[in-house]
Amino acid sequence: MPEGPEIRLAAEKVAAAVEGKAVQRVMFSQHRLRRFGPKLSGSVVSKIETKGKALLTHFDNGISIYSHNQLYGVWRIVAAGSLPKTKRRLRLALHADDRSALLYSASDISVWQTQDLDKHPFLAKLGPDILDPTVSYRCVATRLLDKPFLNRPLHSILMDQSFMAGVGNYLRSEILFQARLSPKLKPKQLNTTAVESLANAILDISRRSYESKGVTLPSRMRNEIQNQQSGRARNRFYVFGREGKSCYLCNSKIGRQEMGGRRLYWCVNCQGGQSGG
Ligand SMILES: [Zn+2]
């Protein structure tokens, strides 16, 4: 389930492998894209960039590759010429002298003139990026009260990439728990304090997940939980994937519900205190 933080971490690995280097061979497996292979082979990758859950590979000849991992795509970095054994379908390969960056399974790939990327239908409607350090919680709070979002339930807004780019399913559950808000509430039902705590949670949880490679629990809390448990329990989340287990704060059972077609986990006791539940 790659979300903004996972895509940013993957992009850093891709950048370490090919950024600033001439890519001797570029290979697309999808028929509609194959003609771009020879056009890009030998060009230098000038920059690897992320926009929400999309990854952009920019070349020095004014061409960019857009790729979106969807639910199943994965990037692998390998020594040049050594393709790993896998049942996954290789969709895009960037072979530099020493290493190769390989994109498996994802099929949402397209090739653009870099200057035209803002016309890409997904990129054109993206909101501010959750990992953009210039985005402040005030900006997020203001956005929550904007007309397109004011009267929609929080579980829906958080999955809308035009609200904040990069939030996905596990971040949604974790953000709402940290803000102690019911997923069914709408921004217009929130008081100023609740709007601020939600805006803070959106940025805090996303940035913590990026910094700790997919863990949203604060490190101190994670250590405390691990000390109480035997074995090597891997605790990453407050609520996500913890249906039926005890809430770390109040001991109530964590619930699970489909919202917007995706599973959402929450503690009704911690998050049900406001109207709208
Ligand atoms: Zn609770």
Residuewise pLDDT in 10s, the chain (277 residues): 689 999 999 999 999 999 999 999 999 999 999 999 999 999 999 999 999 999 999 999 999 999 999 888 999 999 997 889 999 999 999 999 999 999 999 999 999 999 999 999 999 999 999 999 999 999 999 999 999 999 999 999 999 999 999 999 999 999 999 999 999 999 999 999 999 999 999 999 999 999 999 999 999 888 888 777 655 556 899 999 999 999 999 999 999 999 999 999 999 999 985 544 3
> How many angstroms does the Cα of residue 238 sit away from the middle of ligand 1?
9
Q: Where are the domains of the chain?
A: 4-124, 137-271
* Closest listed residue to residue 58, CA positions, set 45, 69, 43, 41: 45
Distances (CA, A) of 12 to 130, 211, 270: 16, 12, 36
> How many angstroms does the Cα of residue 119 sit away from the middle of ligand 1?
44
Catalytic residue among 3, 6, 19, 174: 3
Tokens of 82: 């050594």
**Lookup result for tokens 């949670």:** 201
- Whether residue 2 lies in the annotated active site: yes
Residue 1: predicted pLDDT? 66
Q: What is the pLDDT of residues 80-97, one digit of tens each?
A: 978 899 999 999 999 999
Which residues are CB-contacts of 211 (< 8 A; sequence separation ≥ 6)? none
φ and ψ of 146, to 5 deg: -70, 155
- Whether residue 3 lies in the annotated active site: yes
Catalytic residue among 53, 180, 184, 242: 53
Residue 277: predicted pLDDT? 38
Q: Give start and end residues of each alpha helix (H) in 31-153.
A: 36-40, 121-124, 137-144, 147-150
> How many angstroms does the Cα of residue 36 sit away from the middle of ligand 1?
52
DSSP 3-state of 128: coil
Q: Residue 13 in contact with residue 77, Cβ under 8 Å?
A: yes
Residue 273: predicted pLDDT? 59
Catalytic residue among 13, 152, 186, 262: 262
> How many angstroms does the Cα of residue 271 sit away from the middle of ligand 1?
7
Residue 70: predicted pLDDT? 87
Tokens of 76: 């692998």
> How many angstroms does the Cα of residue 183 sit away from the middle of ligand 1?
14
Paired strand residues for 104: 74, 90
> How many angstroms does the Cα of residue 137 sit away from the middle of ligand 1?
25
> How many angstroms does the Cα of residue 239 sit away from the middle of ligand 1?
9
Distance (Å, whole) CA 65 – CA 244: 43
Q: Which CATH architecture has domain 137-271?
A: Orthogonal Bundle (1.10)
The yes or no reply on domain 4-124 and CATH 3.20.190.10 is yes
* Closest listed residue to residue 21, CA positions, set 94, 78, 93, 76: 94
> How many angstroms does the Cα of residue 96 sit away from the middle of ligand 1?
50
- pTM equals 0.92
Residue 275: predicted pLDDT? 43
Vertex 89 angle, CA 88 and 94, to 5°: 115
Tokens of 39: 């056009």
Catalytic residue among 2, 5, 183, 187: 2
The pairing of beta strand 45-51 with beta strand 108-113: unpaired
- Whether residue 262 lies in the annotated active site: yes
Entry field: residues in the chain: 277
Distance (Å, whole) CA 58 – CA 60: 7
- Whether residue 258 lies in the annotated active site: no
Q: Residue 114 in contact with residue 63, Cβ under 8 Å?
A: yes
Residue 276: predicted pLDDT? 41
Task: Compute how many other C-beta atoms are within 10 angstroms of the C-beta atom of residue 149.
Answer: 21
Residue 230: predicted pLDDT? 57
